[in-house]
Amino acid sequence: MLAGLCTLGGPLPAAPVAWANPVAAPRVYAGSGMVAFGDAGRYGSPSGTLDAVVTGMAATPDGKGYWLVAADGGVFAFGDAGFFGSAGGLPLWAPVVAMAATPDGKGYWLAALDGGVFAFGDAAFYGSMGGHPLAQPVVGMAATPDGKGYWLVAADGGIFAFGDAAFYGSMGGRPLAAAVTGMAATPDGKGYWLVGSDGGIFAFGDAGFDGSAAGTPLPDGIVAMAATPDGKGYWLAGYDGSIYTFGDAPYLGGAGGTVPDSPVVAMAATPDGKGYWLVQPDDWAYSFSSPPPPYRLADSAAVVAAAAPQVAGDPDVGQGAFCNPYGPCEPWCALFVTWVWRTAGVAVPQYAFTGDIWTWAASHTAVLAPSAIPAPGDAILYGTGPQSTATSLHTGIVAQVWPDGAIVTIEGDAGPAPTGQLAVVTNGPFLAAESPGYNGMPVYGFAQPVP
């Protein structure tokens, strides 16, 4: 999920920008990836370089531990959370995007973008949508209170119920103002809430509607939610770490409003409802080596290797709006992409306009349609075409590609912060075809760095 565009209005020259290739040292956030509020404890965080981006979390029943899950199915356990196995190392078809724990904390489920479910410990497998065609990808899951069932929710609000999880309704097939990004179940398992990226809330079964953020001007989209223990309230978490409370959910702090912000992708609440955690995946370093990269050319590996250390890079905001280590003080997502390519040895000019990347590749290397499967190292182009700043809106580097076509990207001049003070962030996993709902803008193609 992206926030803001790196292309401003007005014509830009097609000629490359003339300046020396800068040396951009990574500027890394001091955070640990886990931000705790209220009585939520800090029990640890992954160290070293991870193979795939962290996408979700779940807390233990007593709130004295938690699990994190990465897109490759790797599981990390902290506090009193036990490790019961993972999907790390398995040849996954689609990336893992969510997880849920059993009531006794002795097991957990992982849910993948294609609806596949993986069960570990005392978590039983009750079925999945893996192998079934989905109208929209799965974005979240929740377990029943007895642990004998679970729900999956898709971006279109479709609900899939398994085990003793009952179907109480869904938004599938209905027009939505924004894509659904998460869900939470009521304490008795007789209802659930869905949340959209615009803060809209949809309540089903005995889930009460206690308000929503729909219609409120949000700095960034909503990415996750959690319910209070009595089911009479809920929290919503924004991409920038802002927290929105409804019903009896207390406000205990948020991560929004700092510069630069590290994006939030998941949240969990403590069992007494007096605390919660936010997950900021860009605080960890990644190799993007899982799944094994389907590099098109040897140069592709060099491109990803150049881009990866820049994640969580903090532009020189003290020097002025849009100041960055990759070129002049101006919108710089294209400067970042061409800097990465040049650092990897690609003889591309340093462009300031995103459309020039497409035009250069069309003449010198190759371009791919948005329906094509890219390779790591390719540039992703957002918008409707390369013609102008009104049609070519943003760009980034493809870092990871999954067999189902889902991608993870590294993008400059992006993420949660005021315009002009953005950073280098990871984005995804997402399907390029679903980019309008996920990123707020379509993908018009991919550009290859080398022929």
pLDDT tens digits for range 281-325: 999 999 999 888 776 766 788 999 999 999 976 566 567 889 888
CA 393 – CA 448 distance, rounded (Å): 18
What does pTM read for this prediction?
0.93
By the 8 A CB rule, do 5 and 431 touch? no
Specify whether the CB–CB gap between 56 and 80 falls below 8 A. no
pLDDT at 24: 42
Q: Where are the beta strands (DSSP E) in 130-247?
A: 138-143, 149-154, 159-163, 180-185, 191-196, 201-205, 222-227, 233-238, 243-247
Per-residue confidence (pLDDT) for residue 320, from 0 to 100? 83
Cα–Cα–Cα angle for 414, 50, 288, rounded to 5 degrees: 60
Per-residue pLDDT at 175: 92
The proportion of the chain whose per-residue pLDDT surpasses 70, expressed as a percent, equals: 90
Cα-based distances in Å from 239 to 13, 88, 181:
33, 26, 11
Residue ranges and CATH numbers for the domains of the chain are 34-279 (2.130.10.10), 293-448 (3.90.1720.10)
Q: What's the pLDDT score for residue 259?
A: 57
Task: Supply the pLDDT for residue 25.
Answer: 41
Please state the three-class secondary structure of 146-170 as a single string. CCCEEEEEECCCCEEEEECCCCCCC
- Per-residue pLDDT at 4: 58
Which regions of the chain are under pLDDT 50? 9-29
pLDDT value at residue 314: 59
Tally of helices (H runs) and strands (E runs) in the chain: 4, 26
